[in-house]
Chain A
Amino acid sequence: MTQLKFVGQSPARIDGLDKITGAANFVDDLAFGPNLLHAEIVESPYAHALIVSIDTSAAEKVPGVVRVVTGKDFPYRFGLYMQDRFIFPTDRVRFVGEQVAAVVARDAKTAKRAAKLVKVFYKELELVLDLAQALRDDAVLVHPDLGNYTRCPWFFPQAGTNIAHWRKTRKGDIEQGFKQADVVFEDTYTVPRYAHCAIEPHVIVGLYDLAGRLTLWSASQSPYTQRHVFAQALAPLGLSHKDIRVVTPYIGGGFGGKAGVSMEIIGAALAVMVKGHPVKVRWSRAQEFYNTYQRQGVIARIKLGAKKDGTITAIEHTLHWDAGGYVEYGANVVNAVGLSATGPYRVPNVKIDSVCVYTNLPPGGPYRGFGYSEFHFGLESHMTRVAQKLGMDPVEFRKKNAIREGDMLAYGAKMNPSGLHEAIDRVAREIHWGTRKVSKDPNKAIGKGFACFWKAPAMPPNAASAAFIKFNEDGSLNVSASGMEIGQGYLTVMAQIAAEILTVPVHRIRIESPDTDRNAYEWQTVGSHVTWGCGNAVKAAALDVRDKMFAVVERALGIARDTLYLEDEKVKCRVRPDFELRFRDFVISGIQTAQGNFIGGPILGSGVFMPEFTSALSDPETSQGGHPNVHYTVGAAAAILEVDKQTGRMRVLKAVLAVDAGKAIHPDLVKGQVTGGLVQGLATVLYEDIRYDLKGKLLNANFTDYKIPTALDVPDEIVPIIIEVAQPDGPFGARGVGEHTMIPAAAMIANAVEDAVGLRIKRLPITAEKVALELRGIAYDDVKGSYMGLCFLGQADAYNFHTKSVARKR
């Protein structure tokens, strides 16, 4: 491979100055003038009820109120993968806080006051809050019309039940696999819901101008996908894609919560109702918790069989997901897990059932990790426990079964190149696996925990990326694509890729946030795929630009293009060392010939990328036959944890995480993902503890009661390790790492808690409170009172995964 000059370096982030001088504009910072209107939402106080009537007359009379909008105005369905939602529900509400109406007024205070005057009459329905109850034969249905919904072809809803999707994966002979095993062990693990907690709340400003053009300024990870969903939902009004423009400036964190379309549909709809006026919908922190997406809760049963030598013979993994009132995006999380719940291991016999269940809680959806964090908690806890039963070291057990390039995945395709073994070895070495640390304080115990991880982007098989590149007069570049700078450093990485091909330094490249009118297409910035997908498109565009430069030189000067190359912003020639042409001397104005005329003109290029080898079509009973995932990113992590045996308080003394980035285009950014992702993952196990009451109302929708980590809660030491086993179809070998760094955190801590104090906790989170109680022999479930964090009310061990309605349809 030729020497890389820009890729593999860690230049200053090109969004850095914007962000540390206050120059960075987020949606809420944009000025829309005195004509800007403000919206306030009327929310359902019930988790499940019929809407009998809505009386808006009193609100409409308030001076300053411009319009009150209800479901009658927009009887249109929308949804990314399944159209199971109305913009405003017309007949029934399905979670507490769901939008029922909106008041648009001249100022926010008036809108708020008037919203209180909207009278909604409800007829309460029986709640579906418990998964066991949701799956009963005579269950109350959250979506009686489920069978009629438009959906993507890889979802399998079961009409007449609360099952929105059921992904089944079958490989080998599961019974035979367990017969071959010397040890078969099964247990149940539960993971509650979590909230994304991006510091910037969702906000959208819509303007439907007098000429009929709809422009949305949106805090979104998905400008093009939003435009597409808006166009579908508003098609009955005569709007189509060309009439809709989505502009997405800097975004203040997303983590999946700003993917797809959630509250943004309200902004689009309201704008259409107040033609000529920009209207802003900004979510409060509380709405941020209950009316965007939440990470779904799950209860999972794992049965794993292994031989005495540690070889895994079979895994049966059954997961029931509490997906909430709408699953238009969340069902795809369930789907992704149903294909990959073996974890990064070679398993000959597999049976996975990943079941997406409607409940009357807030809609579930994508959250950094897309279901993998959830199932890894159970699986990686279980791996350590099975190793113990085998009398084997848990790291050795993982290494023995760790997947390799070419191994057959659960759905029949082959595993991509992977540095999993190297990751395991390097983490074990860095954490001094096998040695024990002892606290000097007799009240404290220290333990170590280990976990592996993998994840593939969950993308439709035709998720595409595109890029344009143009030169400026001085030879600097503009790169235009539609990935989102969500904090990960996307802009800088794209600039590095263009720089590597075109030799223009990163600081002479401008790349801006998307505008669907002007920037090239990108499906969405999700799934940790933009470095790979969008990076491939930018690389292709840069190669296109290079080809065009060579063509102009050949045409104008008669130098054969295959002898040309680029160096230091000049075109040079292999056979004519004296020849060099500076970019700035021809990339706009062309090359002057001896006759005085000019050849060429502004150089611009384009590139596209689509994973043409993937397919979502497979046998619904086995998932065999397709190629649903492009590739997996793998890695391993470990922690040294100190536990205070009196208070249960835990401190992470050291955390190590190795991730196979394929090629780290910007190593410092990869390390930034490790530190940030690990802390976000640690939060889900040590601190964050969501609570609902038994009416389905979220009790801690704020940062006082839902505790995310502060600077005081970070590990004493974090060691990021970058592995580079190239991804053959990635730009310079790169693959994504953004979500992955969060995935192993929960299981790694659960394993460390057991190592330290002998407690095996199978239910997240593992808070100090829970550890302190369990150390006194008090089961947390017995004292938790009348609230819940998971859509399951009883004891997890008593949960019946084979309820009648599920069994009947097996």
Chain B
Amino acid sequence: MKRTITLKLNNETRSLEIEPSDILLDVLRESLGVKSPKIGCERGDCGACTVLLDGKTVRSCLILAIEADGCDITTVEGLSVAQLTPLQQAFLEHGSFQCGFCAPGFLLSATELLEKNPHPSEAEIKEAIGGNLCRCTGYQPIINAIAAASRKTGRRA
């Protein structure tokens, strides 16, 4: 039986009908037209489908859309409407992507990290993105960008 859910997607309230068994990732991509969360493994291993759900990263392939009813969801499309975030800027400057398929997931994991911990150590950065897989870059350019974005937000307290 169809249900109606309402969620705030990238700061815009959206309502839609879904099946209770629908996966959040599929609903975002197919019903709501947000394509930056990618389908990589459909079992929570790769992190390409990462989104922020009420400010926390989740694997949208492991969540039912109905669980997101009433929640706030941010994808990369919602990060940079006005201008690039310092993190996106740092990703550009450090060449922190190659094919770019995993980049949205990394950006969101790093966004969450810097929200919680504006000045992470290298070990904390690695831990925070440890659930996102990248096959191209060897990770170092991503780690460097996150560290650089963190430095730009001021000195460690």
Contact = CB atoms under 8 A, between A and B. Distances in A.
Q: Give the size category of B's interface with A.
A: 35 or more
B138 A718 contact: yes
Interface string A688-727: 0000000000000011100011111010001000000000
B101 A711 contact: no
Interface residues of A, number: 54
A352 interface: no
Contacts of B136: 253, 487, 676
Contacts of B29: 29
| B contact face: mostly helix, strand, loop, or mixed | loop
A24 B104 CA distance: 10
A12 B92 contact: yes
A351 B40 CA distance: 44
B134 interface: yes
A197 B101 CA distance: 12
A252 B35 contact: no
Pick the most buried of A21, A22, A709, A718: most chain B CB atoms within 10 A of its CB: A22
B153 interface: no
Contacts of A708: 133, 135
Pick the most buried of B29, B91, B140: most chain A CB atoms within 10 A of its CB: B140
A199 interface: yes
Interface stretch (A119-127, A185-193, A667-675): A667-675
Contacts of B130: 710-712
Contact of A253 (B88, B101, B131): B101
Interface string B52-95: 00000000000000000000000111011000100010011101
B141 A672 contact: yes
Nearest to B26: A108
Contact of A199 (B33, B80, B134, B141): B134
A293 interface: no
B9 interface: no
Contacts of B139: 679, 709-711, 714
A252 B40 CA distance: 10
Interface in A3-32: 12-13, 15-22, 24-26, 28-29, 31
B98 interface: yes
Contacts of B101: 26, 198-200, 250, 252-253
A26 B41 contact: no
A196 B136 CA distance: 11
A364 interface: no
A200 B92 contact: no
Nearest to A669: B95
A200 B95 contact: no
A711 B126 contact: yes
B135 A21 contact: no
B39 A672 contact: no
B40 A201 contact: yes
Pick the most buried of A199, A250, A677, A708: most chain B CB atoms within 10 A of its CB: A199
Interface of B: 29, 33, 35-36, 38-43, 45-46, 48, 75-77, 79-80, 84, 88, 91-93, 95, 97-104, 107, 125-127, 129-143
Interface of A: 12-13, 15-22, 24-26, 28-29, 31, 196-201, 250-255, 282, 284-285, 486-489, 668-669, 672, 675-680, 702-704, 708-712, 714, 718
